[in-house]
Amino acid sequence: DVERRGPSMKNDLALIGVAKTFGPHVAVQDVSVDIAEGSFFSFLGPSGCGKTTILRMISGFIEPSAGSIRLGTLDLAGIVPNRRPTALIFQNLALFPLMSVAENIGYGLKVRGVSAAARGRKVDEMLDLIALSGFAGKRIEELSGGQRQRIAIARALAVEPKVLLLDEPLSALDLKLRQHMRAELRTLQRRAGITFIYITHDQGEALAMSDRVAVMSKGQIEQIGGSSDIYDNPGSAFVASFVGESNILVGRITATDGQFAVIETAVGDLRGRNPKHLTTGDAAMLFVRPERLRIAAAEDDLVVNSLTGDINEVMFEGLTFIITLRHVSSRLVTLSLANDGTGLAFAPGSRQTVSFSPADGLILPAGPIARL
Ligand code: ATP
């Protein structure tokens, strides 16, 4: 018996070669991904890349034009939304404003014919889960944005879905609350123990909460990985430019050795990692994060990857100082320095040399980059 409850019990969600076209327009193209049961998974990408279309296919509001979607061994094709083991939370939450908190949370159970007593037990359990015990009798209008968010999640979880789908649920909240809700959502996901699939164009949100992230562009998955992998080892110019900040230096490969290469750019020859094995003559881009640049102090620093220019602007951002440097080639280079509380001695106009370790320069094939 124990053996039979092995892999076949698993409720991993699999998209296999999924595509969606609207007339001549291809919204989603050949998307394949395995989403482990009980994980927090995000689809991240700019507006129009197909995220919502994927979510609507998983929830059953639209059917794929090609490919299949499975939960464990169950093929979801043809199953109407309210019979799927999924629940969807919309951007606007769609709570019932005139009903009490308890009525909202119990709503899905009521339409399924669950008795009042059983509903009451489930509502209490859900209120406990979202840490709002004692709120059962309140009206939605009396609640804060963050509390409404949690009620929407409780209402969705009350019907015990295997997968909870979240469509940019934090976008209506102010910045502070949004950041706070990231931690709350992650905690709720762990406690509920089910799969959360989250779509967002906000890379900070996706990276902060997810076990794994799929970065999308133009209807296709560009890269799937853990948050730090996506951030530290982007696989394409698009991902490197969309996720986090980067200085991007365009050029051509002039030499390679082992793991590294040299790229000739407008700011000089720069050395960086070459994970895609580009060869001499290839069009390439070097990406270096602002936090990986440092002010060159010792002579040693000047041997490789040094850039000299005049400080253009110094911006105080609390945790860091963001400094832009106008390279002698007139290119702007951005670096960020941690704020250690002792202030910063650099004034706009002063000449500085900055450098970075070759390990912190990432050279990738030249390609489309994400627009701001
Ligand atoms: P956003 O973040 O702006 O919601 P998205 O990444 O969720 O964007 P989708 O809503 O999935 O993107 O749309 C992907 C593409 O498919 C877009 O170009 C969109 O215009 C198109 N599209 C979506 N739904 C339809 C439809 N019903 N008919 C025609 N085109 C559609």
Task: Give the Cα separation of 346 and 227 in Å (integer).
Answer: 33
Instruction: Give me ligand 1 centre to Cα 188, in Å.
Output: 29
**Could you read off the pLDDT of 160-174 as tens digits, one per residue?**
899 999 998 887 777
**Could you read off the pLDDT of 133-186 as tens digits, one per residue?**
888 888 888 888 888 888 888 888 888 899 999 998 887 777 887 888 888 889
Q: Is pLDDT of 372 > 70?
A: no
> For the chain, what is the mean pLDDT?
90
Q: What 3-state class would DSSP assign to 125?
A: helix
Phi then psi for residue 102, to 5 deg, are -65, -40
| Best residue for ligand 1 mutational test, from 18, 52, 217 (most atoms within 8 Å of Cβ) | 52
Tell me, what's the ipTM?
0.92
pLDDT band (50, 70, 90) for residue 312: very high
pLDDT mean over 357-371: 94
**Residue with CA nearest ligand 1 atom 10:** 52
User: How high is the pLDDT of residue 302?
Assistant: 63
User: How high is the pLDDT of residue 278?
Assistant: 98
User: How high is the pLDDT of residue 5?
Assistant: 42
Nearest ligand 1 atom, CA 56: 11
Task: Give percent of the chain above pLDDT 90.
Answer: 63
pLDDT band (50, 70, 90) for residue 300: low
On whether the CB atoms of residues 50 and 94 are closer than 8 A, the answer is no
Cβ(22) – ligand 1 distance below 6 Å: yes
**Could you read off the pLDDT of 17-71 as tens digits, one per residue?**
999 999 999 999 999 999 999 999 999 999 999 999 999 999 999 999 999 999 9
Task: Give the Cα separation of 341 and 249 in Å (integer).
Answer: 32
According to DSSP, the β-strands at 13-22 and 212-217 are unpaired
Q: Which domains does the chain have, with CATH numbers?
A: 3-237 (3.40.50.300), 238-365 (2.40.50.140)
* Lowest mean pLDDT, pick from 73-87, 109-123, 173-187, 232-246: 173-187
Cβ(44) – ligand 1 distance below 6 Å: no
Instruction: With 0.95 as the threshold, say if the pTM is over it.
Output: no
Cβ(31) – ligand 1 distance below 6 Å: no
On whether the CB atoms of residues 35 and 211 are closer than 8 A, the answer is no
On whether the CB atoms of residues 235 and 326 are closer than 8 A, the answer is no
